[in-house]
Amino acid sequence: MKTYTVAVLGATGAVGQEMLKILAERNFPVGKLIPLASARSAGKTVTFRGEQVAIQEARDEAFQGVDIVLGAAENDIAKRFAPAIVAAGAVFVDNSSAFRLDPKVPLVVPEVNPEDVKNHHGIIANPNCSTIITVTAVNALNAVAPIRTMTASTYQAVSGAGAGGPIELMDEVEALREGRKVEPKVFSHQIAYNLIPQIGSEQFEGYTSEEMKMQNEGRKIMHLPELKVSCTCVRVPVVRSHSISVSCHFDVPVTVEQARAAIAAAPGCRLVDNLAAKEYPMPLDTSDQDIVFVGRIRPDLTDDNGLCLWCCGDQVRKGAATNAVQIAELVIQND
Separation of alpha carbons 295 and 57, rounded Å: 45
CA 118, chain centre distance (Å):
21
Does pTM surpass 0.85? yes
Q: What is the pLDDT along the chain (335 residues), one digit of tens a residue?
A: 899 999 999 999 999 999 999 999 999 999 999 999 999 999 999 999 999 999 999 999 999 999 999 999 999 999 999 999 999 999 999 999 999 999 999 999 999 999 999 999 999 999 999 999 999 999 999 999 999 999 999 999 999 998 899 999 999 999 999 999 999 999 999 999 999 999 999 999 999 999 999 999 999 999 999 999 999 999 999 999 999 999 999 999 999 999 999 999 999 999 999 999 999 999 999 999 999 999 999 999 999 999 999 999 999 999 999 999 999 999 999 88
Active site residue 129: yes
Same domain, 308 and 269: yes
Same domain, 201 and 98: no
Separation of alpha carbons 220 and 108, rounded Å: 9
Q: Check residue 335 and give its pLDDT.
A: 80
**Domain span including residue 113:** 4-127+320-333
Residue 5 gets which letter from DSSP?
A: E
Active site residue 242: yes
Separation of alpha carbons 289 and 111, rounded Å: 16
Same domain, 97 and 65: yes
Same domain, 248 and 182: yes
CATH, residue 59: 3.40.50.720
Same domain, 328 and 288: no
Same domain, 137 and 192: yes
Same domain, 187 and 291: yes
Same domain, 113 and 155: no
Same domain, 135 and 90: no
Q: 7 and 94 in contact (C-beta within 8 Å)? A: no
Q: Check residue 244 and give its pLDDT.
A: 98
CATH, residue 239: 3.30.360.10
Q: Check residue 326 and give its pLDDT.
A: 98
Q: Mind spelling out the 3-state secondary structure of 92-123? A: EEECCCCCCCCCCCCECCCCCCHHHHHHCCCE
Count of structural domains, the chain: 2
Same domain, 121 and 149: no
Same domain, 197 and 261: yes
Q: Kindly report the number of other CB atoms within 10 A of residue 149's CB atom.
A: 17
Same domain, 141 and 83: no
Coil, strand or helix at 247: strand
| Burial degree of 116 (CB within 10 A; 0-12, 13-18, 19+) | buried
From residue 229, alpha-carbon distances to 109, 122, 243 in Å are 18, 30, 17
Q: Check residue 145 and give its pLDDT.
A: 97
CA 4, chain centre distance (Å):
24
Catalytic residue among 120, 231, 233, 242: 242
Helices (H), 265-321: 283-286
Q: Check residue 295 and give its pLDDT.
A: 98
Catalytic residue among 120, 129, 233, 311: 129
